[in-house]
Structure 1
Amino acid sequence: MLQIRNLQVSYGGAVLALRSVSLDVRQDAVVAVLGSNGAGKTTLLRSIAGTLSDHGGAVDHGAIEFEGVNTAGRSPSAMAAAGVVLVPEGRRIFTSLTVAENLRAGGFGVRDRARRTTALRRVHELFPLLHDRADQRAGLLSGGQQQMLAIGRALMASPRLLLIDEPSLGLAPQMVGRIGEVIDEIHTQGTTVLLIEQNATMALGVASHAFVLTVGAVTLQGSAAELAADQAVRELYLGGAPKPEQAAQATPASGLAPTPALRRWTA
């Protein structure tokens, strides 16, 4: 679905943010990109989503292809129309608008009323709280609730490829697992996901394939199970070697503990 080849990106023509990055995202997959602050993860999503120039960045070299079409340099609206939608880091909801108005803004570019209605029903099924608080000002929601709204707003555009940037950032630890559950359910419903995340445990728990970015370059890639078992990844992102009881619970298919039954994200 998405192919990136030898992508080089800089800011102001001086700061090199990505260096010859290549990766693939297959249709119906969840792909995670791991890395520390400053590794280039957000720059990668900006390049795909078409928002790079808004932040003073530019693609110097390489290609970005979505469903066989070169999309490098396209605007965010053009990318959304093509089916690529970004949930930005920090949520970036419209705090002065109501929950319902934020969701309507997410579907603004969808002209088909039936599609908007179907998308809204999907969002309310995933996040019943957004239905219950439709008339509440978005700025009064908690951090976790605002993240629900940010994801829901993106889903209103009925994306085929959903880009999610650091969804667990700034949230309480008990909310992180619920984020993974929601991403898993969105994927199950047929949406391909490219997930940028520092919480490697959550990311590798929902992803089928993963990449590690280090100072703007891909340094590791493989199945989520392979990266979860990699000692360097464990030391950098997973807190060292697994405890014996954790290793005993891991499944051969994923290398991680079995995922519990999904729950609706309601808080």
Structure 2
Amino acid sequence: MIITDTHTHLYSEAFDEDRHEVIKRALAANVSRFFIPAIDSTYTASMLQLEKDFPNNVFLMMGLHPTHVKENFKEELLHVENMLAKRHFYAVGEIGIDLYWDKSTLSIQIEAFKHQIALAKKYKLPIVIHCRDAFNEIFEVLETVNDENLFGIFHCFTGTLEQAQQAIAYNMKLGIGGVSTFKNGKIDTFLNQIDLKHIVLETDAPYLAPTPHRGKRNESLYIIQVLEKLSEIYGVSKETIANITTKNSKDVFGI
């Protein structure tokens, strides 16, 4: 059984004291594929070091996170362009729109989002979308760029059944993580109406730890709780969930 964490910030400062131990704990539980989203240029060196330390398990993305789209966003986008031109990454992400923290940057968030989608298409890569309080805005952008070259993952999906179906219509898998285990998470009430072929697993570590670890630092090992929850929701074995979601991740990332 191979379990894939399609979204984990293992380079985060939250893991500075025990990063290798965290990864080894996950590996011991068959969580052996870690896809690493970017935030901004300040984290690139630590991402590259993580890949160097675990070359068979760590797969990097490149992108500018929407909450880090600031006054210098054009310089940050140039860094993304330069890195994509220099070497292979497995996705452009995480990118998107976040209106929870700052609504004043919406226009430049949209500009950065569209620019990075174009880069993904140029390199024939998937996108990994961050969406917070911004489903309508995200869908409006996707509608303008929708074609056969648009595909990827709707990271940390927390929307409604209708929004899930809309995301899938844009050739997106749904990234399902700790929220599925929350009592008020709501997505567990309709997930079984979505075919497993549209689902991938993620942690978003160190954020959004699943029950019973909620409120603590998340880590990739805790994807086991998400796996167990989906096994319960879909009424199939944990091995079936692991196998299908790992296959789905291979379909998206090409490895």
Smaller-chain TM-score range?
Answer: 0.3 to 0.5
TM-score (norm 1): 0.38
Q: Which has the higher helix share?
A: 2
Higher RCO, 1 vs 2 (CA within 8 Å, ≥6 residues apart): 1
Q: Which has the higher strand share?
A: 1
TM-score (norm 2): 0.39
